[in-house]
Amino acid sequence: MKPSEYLAGSIGFSISEVGAGFMLLLSAIKRAPRAIKQKHLVVEQMQRIGLGSLPLVLVTSVFTGGVAAVQAAYQFENYVPLRYLGMVISKSIVIELGPVLTALVVGGRVGASIAAELGTMKVTEQIEALETLAIDPVRYLVSPRLIAAVMMLPVITVFSDFIAIMGGFAVAYTGLDINTHVYFNSIKVHLTSEDVLSGLIKAFFFGGIIAIMGCYHGMKTRGGAEGVGIATTKAVVSSCLLILITDYILASLLFSAVFAG
C-alpha cells in the first residue's frame, strides 16, 4: 500500500473523494427547493438530528463550560483580574468551543447514523428500489438531511452555548467566588453580536459537512454489514477532520476579512 493510500484510507477520504462529495453537495442543493416542499421528510430529520442530540450536547456543554472556567482562572492568576472571567469564558465558548464541540459530538452521533442508515439501504437494494419508483435518492434522502442539519446545528449550538456559559458560571460561583452580577455583566459588556454570529455561521457549515459526509459514505457503501461498518467509520472520521479544517478556514476568513473591516 502506498503511503498516500494509507493516509487516504485512515482519514476517510482522498482528494478525488472530496470532489465526489462536493458534487453530491451541489446536487443536493439543486434539489433542495423540491425537498423543502415535502415538509414531513425535513421535519422528521430535524427531530432526529435536533431533539435526539440535545441530551448529549447538554452533558458535554456543562463540562466544557466548567473546564473553560477552571482553565481561564488558572491562566489569569496574578495577571488578569477575575472579573474578566465571564467575558473570556463566553467569548471562547460562543466563537469556538460551542460550535466545534457541538459539531464533533453531533457529527459522531448523527453522521454515523446517517451513514449506517443509507449504507444499509444501499446494500439491501432499497436505494435502487427508490430509483425504480422514479424517486431520486438525492432528493428523497440527501436533501432533507442536508436541510435539516444546516438548520439544526445552529439551534443546537445556541443551546450548547447557553448551557456551557451556565456551566462556567457554576464553577466561577462555587469555586472561584465570583458573584452573579460580575460574571454576567462582563459577558454583557464584552460579548458582541459578531462573536455569536461567527459561531452560528460556523455551525451552519458544520451541519452541511456532517450531513454530506454521512450521506456520501452511506450512498457509496459496498458489500454487506462490513461495508456499512466501514462507511460509518469513514463518515465520522472525515466529518470530524473536515469540521476542524473548515473551522480554521472560517475563523481566518471571518475575523480577518468580514468582521475586521
Partner 1 sequence: MIRIVDLKKNFDDLEVLKGVNLTINRGETVVVIGRSGCGKSVLLRHIIGLMMPDSGKVFVDGLDVTELKEKQLYELRKRFGMLFQGAALFDSLSVLDNVGLGLREHTNLSDEEIRKIACDKLEMVGLGRLDDKKPAELSGGMKKRVGLARAIAMDPPVVLYDEPTTGLDPIMADVINGLIRDLQKRLGITSIAVTHDIKSAYKIGDRLALLYDGKIVFEGTPEETRSTPNELVRQFIEGNAQGPIPIYEE
CA gap 176, 97 in Å, rounded:
21
Name the residue nearer to partner 1 (CB basis): 130 or 197.
130
Smallest gap from Cβ 13 to partner 1, in A, equals 24
Q: Report how far Cα 159 is from the mean position of its chain's Cα atoms.
A: 13
Name the residue nearer to partner 1 (CB basis): 34 or 181.
34
Q: List Cα–Cα distances, 121 to 54, 111, 163, 211, 260, in angstroms.
A: 27, 15, 37, 16, 47
Contacts to partner 1 from residues 129-188, by CB under 8 A: 129-136, 140
By the rule CB under 8 A, 36 interacts with partner 1? no
CA gap 53, 34 in Å, rounded:
27
Smallest gap from Cβ 136 to partner 1, in A, equals 7
By the rule CB under 8 A, 121 interacts with partner 1? yes
By the rule CB under 8 A, 223 interacts with partner 1? no
Stretch touching partner 1 by CB under 8 A, among 87-95, 120-128, 144-152, 202-210: 120-128
CA gap 187, 218 in Å, rounded:
42
Smallest gap from Cβ 217 to partner 1, in A, equals 19
Q: How big is the CA angle at 163 (ends 160 and 165), to the nearest 5 degrees?
A: 105
Q: Is 223 left (phi over 0), alpha (psi -120 to 50) or beta?
A: left
Site string for partner 1, 80-119 (x = CB under 8 A): -------------------------------------x--
Give me the helix-helix angle, 225-252 and 193-219, nearest 10°: 150
Smallest gap from Cβ 144 to partner 1, in A, equals 13
Smallest gap from Cβ 135 to partner 1, in A, equals 5
CA gap 205, 222 in Å, rounded:
28
For partner 1, the binding residues (CB under 8 A) are 117, 120-121, 124-126, 128-136, 140
